């Protein structure tokens, strides 16, 4: 398996030929592996470093400060703090594209904070008090806006690659009706033998629900994607550079392309340095994810180009209906 690392600056402000080369490589990488790595995305290193600093400070808040903004679970978009084992990635996967009714109780050893767009008045973000975490909100909102722009550039490149009319994707992912989400993930330190018992994982194999996901990760490691060239195997993505983005295909893009571009199955497991170990402590891990999502009333059924000469594999349903159905299975 040889995943691509692409430079987004080759698409932004470059010649038409460079834009087309980048777009084709992006399409091919996402189609083949479900993810690519991206540099030259325009998010400054200092912004990424500050995000990780703020993330650490958030998860070190007193329990009462996090409980005050706890997400209640259920069908509504996630906002605020979700405690360890509040969301089941295993159930999300099994009851989604896998369409399995397996009910085995598998736990996630992860907590997270979720925010929505500043334009989302329907589901406002649950923010910690400014006095508890000064500057947190402004840092998060600024970074979210920057990553929205990156997602827009990636989706524009995919429109070029698939020779779609301008706006075929982006008209369903607008800033004004934005339902995208921004997440801070914290995986607390955990004993290796607890992971090896097979009932707890940092996060079980799953697909993301949106269009694409943009992810920064720290240097601890453990992120793995399904290796489509070797059945049942996973490929490790080492956290070599915190400023390098991982861009993966999510369920909505799979639906829009009628399965031509499949969602990337991924998990967080033991990092390479703990291979073969049966004891010891897995250190805490942090990651930062921007989930680019379709507007709530936009269709997540296949686009016309992808059903010419074949049947639609996915139903014509609104993004909010699909999102709520899927989230319900995770709680």
HEC readout, 158-223: HHHHCCCCCCCCHHHCCCCCCCCEEEEEEECCEEHHHHHCCCEECEEEECCCCCEEEEEECCCCCE
- Let me know: does 71 contact 115? Beta carbons within 8 Å: no
- Let me know: does 11 contact 149? Beta carbons within 8 Å: no
State pTM to two decimals.
0.93
- Please state the φ and ψ torsions of residue 284, each to the nearest 5 degrees: -60, 155
Question: In degrees to the nearest 10, what's the CA dihedral of 51, 52, 57, 60?
Answer: 140
- The residue-averaged pLDDT of 232-259 equals 93
Tell me the torsion sign for CA atoms 264, 269, 273, 278.
Answer: negative
Share of the chain above pLDDT 90, in %: 73
pLDDT tens-digit profile of 250-290? 999 999 999 999 999 999 998 888 888 888 999 999 999 99
Is the per-residue pLDDT at 325 higher than 60? yes
- The residue-averaged pLDDT of 15-30 equals 95
What pLDDT is attached to residue 13?
A: 77
Type and span of the H or E element at 31: helix 16-33
Type and span of the H or E element at 267: strand 266-268
Three-class DSSP category at 249: strand
């Amino acid at each position: 398996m040889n995943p691509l690392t692409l430079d987004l600056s080759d698409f932004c402000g470059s010649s038409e030929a460079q834009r087309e080369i980048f777009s084709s490589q992006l399409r091919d990488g996402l189609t083949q592996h479900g993810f690519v790595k991206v540099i030259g995305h325009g998010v400054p290193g200092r912004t990424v470093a500050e995000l990780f600093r703020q993330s650490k400070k958030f998860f070190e808040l007193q329990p009462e400060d996090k409980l005050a903004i706890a997400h209640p679970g259920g069908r509504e978009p996630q906002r605020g703090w979700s405690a360890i084992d509040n969301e089941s990635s295993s159930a999300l996967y099994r009851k989604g594209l896998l369409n399995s009714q397996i009910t085995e109780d598998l736990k996630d050893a992860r907590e997270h904070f979720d925010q929505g767009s500043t334009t989302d008045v329907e589901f406002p973000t649950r923010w910690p008090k400014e006095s508890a975490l000064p500057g947190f909100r402004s840092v998060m909102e600024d970074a979210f806006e920057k990553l929205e722009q990156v997602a827009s550039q990636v989706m524009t490149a995919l429109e070029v690659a698939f020779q779609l009319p301008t706006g075929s994707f982006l008209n369903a992912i607008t800033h004004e009706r934005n339902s995208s989400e921004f997440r801070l993930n914290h995986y607390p330190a955990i004993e290796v033998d607890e992971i090896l018992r097979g009932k707890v994982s940092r996060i079980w194999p799953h697909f993301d629900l949106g269009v694409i996901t943009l992810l920064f990760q720290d240097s601890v490691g453990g992120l793995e994607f399904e290796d489509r060239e070797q059945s049942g195997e996973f490929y490790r993505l080492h956290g070599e550079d915190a400023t390098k983005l991982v861009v993966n295909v999510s369920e909505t893009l799979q639906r829009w392309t009628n399965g031509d571009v499949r969602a990337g199955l991924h998990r967080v497991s033991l990092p390479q340095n703990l291979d073969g170990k049966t004891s010891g402590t897995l250190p805490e891990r942090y990651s930062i994810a921007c989930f680019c999502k379709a507007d709530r009333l936009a269709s997540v059924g296949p686009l016309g180009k992808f059903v010419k000469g074949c049947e639609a594999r996915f139903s014509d349903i609104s993004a909010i209906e699909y999102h709520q159905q899927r989230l319900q299975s995770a709680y």
